[in-house]
A and B are shown apart, each in its own frame.
Chain A
Amino acid sequence: NAGVTQTPKFQVLKTGQSMTLQCAQDMNHEYMSWYRQDPGMGLRLIHYSVGAGITDQGEVPNGYNVSRSTTEDFPLRLLSAAPSQTSVYFCASRRTINYGYTFGSGTRLTVV
């Protein structure tokens, strides 16, 4: 198993550009989430999914979209990048609520 795979690992965007952060897992996990990590603020939930076709907003959803058309994939779309979205983004998945999340290696995004 590859676990949770995030691409790209690094990205620089200009303000106003859009892009998609990819997240894929090969463990047949139902639950998937996107977090952003900023210095001194821990991890904040952006969007999450409890299964294919089901998504919901987390704590900081503005400026981001998600979809979950398959169990394996959970892409995060930045609609119009802003400097405030400069952060490290983590995707995570877990089998059920009785398990901890497995995290991907992260995407370091800089918006200039």
Chain B
Amino acid sequence: ELKVEQNPLFLSMQEGKNYTIYCNYSTTSDRLYWYRQDPGKSLESLFVLLSNGAVKQEGRLMASLDTKARLSTLHITAAVHDLSATYFCAVDLIANAGGTSYGKLTFGQGTILTVHP
């Protein structure tokens, strides 16, 4: 059974500071996704990481994937209040060695990020 664990679960940051959210997963996969959710809203896709060593950046957010360590990171640079939200990582289950995924996305618990002035 695939398990996906995020830490920290709660993150309170000051504006202008840097921090990293970690996402560990328990079984082989090379497909990892990051989502953002604002309170009472749906999920918004942030990054799609499809191979070992993949790095994607958008504004103050940068995501990376290390499939050997089964670890993805979401790095926040110079946080601003608008980044306050819940961030989820999600891992695709690879059904066989050929890389066929049956769409079973497993989510982490989410990290609630609050950025203070």
Contacts and interface: CB of A to CB of B under 8 A. Distances in A.
A, B in one complex: yes
B104 A45 contact: yes
Contact of B43 (A90, A94, A97): A90
Given A56-B102, A100-B33, A43 B88 contact: yes
A97 B92 contact: yes
Contacts of A58: 104
B105 A101 contact: yes
A102 B101 contact: no
Interface in B60-101: 88, 90, 92, 100-101
Contacts, number: 58
Given A97-B31, A97-B103, A103 B108 contact: no
Nearest to A56: B102
Contacts of A105: 41-42
A103 B42 contact: yes
Nearest to A48: B103
A40 B10 CA distance: 11
Interface residues on A, range: 20 to 34
Interface residues of B, number: 25
Contacts of A48: 102-104
A44 B106 CA distance: 7
A111 to B, nearest CB: 20
Contact of B48 (A50, A56, A99, A106): A99
Nearest to B106: A45
A7 B43 CA distance: 17
B101 A97 contact: yes
B103 A106 contact: no
A42 B50 contact: no
18 contacts: A31-B103, A33-B103, A35-B107, A42-B107, A42-B108, A45-B105, A45-B106, A56-B102, A92-B43, A94-B103, A97-B31, A97-B103, A99-B48, A101-B45, A101-B105, A103-B35, A103-B42, A104-B42
Interface of B: 31, 33, 35, 41-45, 47-48, 50, 88, 90, 92, 100-110
